[in-house]
A and B are shown apart, each in its own frame.
Chain A
Amino acid sequence: MSLRGWVTALRDALHNMARGNVMSLASMLAVAVTLLVLAVVAILAVNLEEIAATAESQVEIKGYLCTARREEVKCGQRDLTEEEIRAILESIRNLPNVEQVTFLSRHEALEEMKRADPAQADLLSGYEGDENPLSDEVYVKVADVQLVAEVAEQIQAMRGVAKVDYGKEIVADLLAFTRAVRIGGAGLVVLLLFATVLTLSNTIRLSVYARRREVSIMKLVGATDWYIRRPFVLEGMLLGAMGAGVASAVAAWGYIRLTPAIQQSLPFLPVVPPDAILSDLTLALLGLGAVLGALASYFSLHRFLNV
């Protein structure tokens, strides 16, 4: 396929768009609107994902190790030796899906309490040594939050572990929420892609219809399907990319304007900074617009060529 062929096709495509300028403008704007909604959904999804990921990263299993003071039967009312504690930590580390294990002895915990509240320090000093009522604690972060319950169970079953706690109900709710966000987002994206293809293929169909005489003569004099198709495919790509350009400009402008306001009024909410996603989003939208435009043209021409 020669370069000249592409130049000719591009000239024809531009010519078509100029000739059907109102229709082209209308469908370009329609594509811009659908892609804008898509961009908004994408930005929302990225942020919800960020919130979900932040929330998930805070999920932690807290394990209480046995001490002489604990009442659980399996603890046998005796303190663990240092070797036993080391062995427990080692076997937790060896569990699958465990990412990070932090140990906090009951003595360290007491010191921390003193530091946190110096006014009570005197009072607390009575609980030092063997009088310490606290338990040795182990904090476990998991790689996959979906499997936190399993890990917690395995730790609970270990000898020398009195009790584990990981916020079971909250984790379940959180997982349900992030799942819904992901599925809903994906569904909406697919729907919007479909709408974009329909909009574009309608415009291209009109454009083909306006040129059906030319197309039929082209066929009669022996133009290949590809030759006939090419200017329409280019037209679709250009319309799609232009719509995407408008959509990403509006989306970028809105997001940049909105981010500071959200951060100010809802400071606890993790907001993805605009410059972290906008260039990727723009590129993705432009590519998507062009690809969808090409696909829409390709398929709307199919019927015309098969006569």
Chain B
Amino acid sequence: MKTPSLDGINLRVERGEFVFLVGPSGAGKSTLMKLLYREELPTSGQLILDGKDVARLPRRAVPYLRRSLGVIFQDFKLLPDRTVFENVAFALECTDVPRREVLRRVPAALELVGLRHKSRALAAELSGGEQQRVAVARAIVRNPVLVIADEPTGNLDPENTWAIMNLLNQINQMGATVMVATHAAEIVDSMKKRVVALERGRVVRDENRGTYGYES
């Protein structure tokens, strides 16, 4: 039998926390995040988000779960042939948010990530750092309770990495719970947040104001 990606995980994250997930590649960081937004299902166990067991959610309830989350990926997952504004608006439009609301909330989100002036640019024309900021804007435009970022800076240079991490920190200050899987050692060390380390599917370390703890 295959060894499970995650095994015997017992983790509790409070509302409003900021958590770094660290550990070698293949340790199960991405799988843990996929469980949260129901891209994958656990073989056993519970996963309580905001009082509801995500693992037992019926299929038709999954879209509504995802509307309460903001998810950010290493590869941004933007639509390259659409404008910055459209990419962010997309998250609202495909959940039937009224047009008025869209016109109010999208500029506010773009303002927060500092890209309001690029609203009309096509996503493909932006630099990597800018694209990821658009993805952050898309993730927060619905005021999610939980923002999940899976190696959000994996494709970015140090400067943009700082910019993104600062943004995530800012979002956390505004009240959202934030979980970030990352290999950015320097940043983890300097931000002094809670750090959860995974190795071979198990939690091997969980400390407040922790450090990265691996050779980078």
Q: Which residues does A use to contact B, with CB under 8 Å?
A: 2, 4-5, 8, 213-214, 216-225, 227-228
Contact = CB atoms under 8 A, between A and B. Distances in A.
A217 B37 CA distance: 13
15 contacts: A2-B96, A8-B93, A214-B79, A219-B63, A220-B37, A220-B66, A220-B71, A220-B77, A221-B91, A222-B63, A222-B64, A222-B66, A223-B63, A225-B63, A227-B95
B138 interface: yes
Given A5-B96, A220-B77, 20 more contacts: A4-B99, A216-B77, A217-B77, A217-B79, A217-B90, A218-B90, A218-B94, A219-B63, A220-B37, A220-B66, A220-B71, A221-B66, A221-B90, A221-B138, A222-B67, A222-B91, A223-B94, A223-B95, A225-B63, A227-B96
A213 B79 CA distance: 8
B163 interface: no
Contact of A224 (B63, B90, B93): B63
Interface of B: 37, 60, 63-67, 69, 71, 77, 79, 90-91, 93-96, 99, 138
Contacts of B93: 8
Q: Which of A5, A214, A223 has the most CB of B within 10 A?
A: A223
Contacts of B99: 4
Nearest to B139: A221
Contacts of B90: 217-218, 221
Contacts of B91: 221-222
Contacts of A227: 94-96
Contacts of B71: 220-221
Nearest to A211: B79
Q: Which of A4, A213, A217, A228 has the most CB of B within 10 A?
A: A217
A91 to B, nearest CB: 67
B147 to A, nearest CB: 13
Contacts of A225: 60, 63
A90 B22 CA distance: 100
A8 B97 CA distance: 12
A214 B81 CA distance: 11
Contacts of B66: 219-222
